[in-house]
Amino acid sequence: MLNRKTEWKTSSRQAVGGAGNEPAASAAAPRRRTLPRLLSSSPPRRKRRHRLLEMTPRSAHVISTRSWAMPVIMCLLGILTVKVFFLSRSDEYVSSSRVQEMVEVEVQRRVQQQVSLLNSEPHTLPSEERGPAVANNFPPTADLSEKDRMRVLVTGGAGFVGSHLVDALMKMGHDVIVLDNFFTGRQKNVQHWIGHPSFHLITHDVVEPIKLEVDQIYHLACPASPPHYQYNPIKTIKTSTQGTLNMLGLAKRTGARMLLTSTSEVYGDPEEHPQRETYWGNVNPIGPRACYDEGKRVAETMMYAYENQGEMEVRVARIFNTFGPRMHPNDGRVVSNFIIQAIQGKDITIYGDGSQTRSFQYVDDLVRGLIALMNNNYSGPVNIGNPDEYTVKDFAELIKSSTESTSKIIFMDGTKDDPNKRKPDITLAKKELGWEPTVAVKDGLVETIKYFRGELKKTGEIIPTGPDASKPRNFADPDPPRQLRSP
Ligand SMILES: NC(=O)c1ccc[n+]([C@@H]2O[C@H](COP(=O)([O-])OP(=O)(O)OC[C@H]3O[C@@H](n4cnc5c(N)ncnc54)[C@H](O)[C@@H]3O)[C@@H](O)[C@H]2O)c1
């Protein structure tokens, strides 16, 4: 070993010393692989290093280590293979394909459990909670011919007005698609149609585009009560602008006629009374109500821009205050608040001195008006409302007597930009649509009071929403969606 080391050093030195390509020196050198020769040879670097190792004392150790390592490794591998073999035959071992199989079986079991729950549930629930109809007990629908039946999209169809419109369209025999993000809408409003082959419910936000095949679009999606639309004003603006653009895009692509539910709020605090469609309005563009009022005004603008530019068919309904069953108990609107306060014997709160006027129409009249407008040739904006005008104070008195309540009427500070007067001129609707309201306010109130009494019975106390911006309250919903009920 020592000799080899010395030789190595010597030959290295020689090689360095004779770097001048001296043939004599090369010839004299022993025929042994020296470092310079190794470096000048051509094999790849790794191979060279390997050879170099072989020349060192360490290489002997490596080689000797390898000589006993191989059998040991082989032996270990053998033991491992035998162990795996026995394990695979024992109960403890579960292969990946077996795991997948077990997961699939479990998923199937849970799906079956849910399905049988859904099938059995309506029969096990008390009839009062079941809602008006379930599964094969739908309200009657007309049998329209293929040629007359349309696919009708109702955005905001799970809301107060939307759900009544859906009822009417379903009863007429159309295929109805409800699209709603459930911000203020509730599934219980359309619960009685779930499972009907002509009814489809899509949870979707109109601010996002959607592709559907439809013949008509009623575009209602937008919160309508001031505390709710003021809760997230930017979202309200987006809903009225981007949401309407998306629906217009859909209408244009499918060739569908589209109706927008605009509002009497486009007249703002009006200087003309009663308000005709020709009146341009008096809206504060930066006030707390602007997100809704201006949003609807822009939506109208877009409707007519598309009509003029895109040869589309559009309809615009300017809706005045509407009331009826399925109003959200916490929407903070005049009718719902007064009724809830009156039947609970709480103070009836008027914001302002109560001299401001409102005209209220029953929801059935509105729905008739919307359908008449959609299917009419007149395409300009049309007021849909009941000209039966009340001061807010008189209306509070009417609610108090209709509910036989002992509540006190109290007055609070007025709210900003609250319109002073509101009454529709419906000459145009009468002329063009042959439409006018037929339900007297007092009769409509009977139905609405009955509805609120029912809500109160199911939920217990209801605290009405004040005028400040607030999120729709999801208090214990008396009729949660069927899927979510526990067994
Ligand atoms: N009820 C009235 O007195 C009245 C008066 C004037 C105009 N309007 C208009 O009629 C329409 C319906 O009003 P309503 O009283 O039924 O109100 P509502 O709040 O009960 O219904 C609105 C529906 O739209 C849904 N919605 C809101 N934002 C949405 C979004 N971004 N995407 C999808 N769905 C969304 C809500 O969840 C709800 O189901 C609204 O366009 C409203 O501006 C109503």
Domain range for residue 246? 125-484
Determine, yes or no, domain membership for 108. Answer: no
Burial 25-59, CB ≥16 within 10 A → b, else e: eeeebeeeebebeeeeeeeeeeeeeeeeeeeeeee
Note whether 132 and 85 are same-domain residues: no
Atom 19 of ligand 1 has which residue's CA nearest to it? 223
334 assigned to some structural domain: yes
Residue of 267, 292, 362, 390 with catalytic role? 292
Q: Are residues 365 and 407 in the same domain?
A: yes
Does 383 lie in the same domain as 305?
yes
Judgement on whether residues 74 and 196 belong to the same structural domain of the protein: no
Among protein residues, the one with the nearest Cα to ligand 1's atom 18 is 159
Q: Are residues 228 and 89 part of one domain?
A: no
Atom number in ligand 1 closest to CA 223: 19
Helix (H, G, I), strand (E, B) or coil at 424: strand
Number of domains the chain is built from: 2
CB of 475 within 8 A of CB of 330? yes
Domain shared by 82 and 130, yes or no: no
Asked if residue 21 is part of any domain, the answer here is: no
Q: Residue 393 and residue 251: Cα distance in Å, rounded? A: 43
Looking at the CA of residue 157, tell me the nearest atom of ligand 1.
39
455 domain-assigned: yes
The tokens for 341 are 């306060």
Q: 120 lies in a domain? A: no
Q: Tell me, in angstroms, the distance from the centre of ligand 1 to residue 246's CA.
A: 16
Q: 88 and 201 in one domain?
A: no
Radius of gyration of the chain (CA): 40
Is residue 240 assigned to a domain?
A: yes
Residue with tokens 């319109």: 419
Residues 65 and 170 in one domain: no
Residues contacting 204, CB < 8 A, separation 6+: 179, 180, 181, 210
Phi-psi region of 348 (alpha: psi -120 to 50; beta: other; left: phi over 0): beta
Same domain, 134 and 77: no
451 catalytic per annotation: no
Residue 13 falls inside a structural domain: no
Read off the pTM: 0.73
Residue of 153, 155, 161 to test ligand 1 pocket, by largest number of atoms within 8 Å of CB:
161
Cβ neighbours for 307, distance < 8 A, ≥ 6 positions apart:
313, 314, 379
Are residues 136 and 246 both part of a single domain? yes
Question: How would you write the pLDDT of the chain (487 residues) with one tens digit per residue?
Answer: 334 433 333 333 333 333 333 333 333 344 444 444 434 444 444 444 444 444 444 444 444 545 666 777 786 887 777 665 665 555 445 566 676 777 677 766 665 554 444 443 333 333 333 344 445 689 999 999 999 999 999 999 999 999 999 999 999 999 999 999 999 999 999 999 999 999 999 999 999 999 999 999 999 999 999 989 999 999 999 999 999 999 999 999 999 999 999 999 999 999 999 999 999 999 999 999 999 999 999 999 999 999 999 879 999 999 999 999 999 988 888 999 999 999 999 999 999 999 999 999 999 999 999 999 999 999 999 999 999 999 999 999 999 999 999 999 999 888 888 888 999 999 999 999 999 999 999 999 999 999 999 999 888 777 777 677 777 766 444 444 433 333 2
> Do 194 and 274 belong together in one domain?
yes
Assigned domain for 359 exists: yes
**Tokens 């599934």 identify what position?**
187
CATH of the domain at 155: 3.40.50.720
How far is ligand 1, taken at its centre, from the CA of residue 156, in Å?
6
Ligand 1 center–CA 202 separation, angstroms:
16
Residues 404 and 352 both lie in one domain: yes
Cα–ligand 1 centroid distance for 87 (angstroms): 64
Atom of ligand 1 nearest to the CA of 292: 43
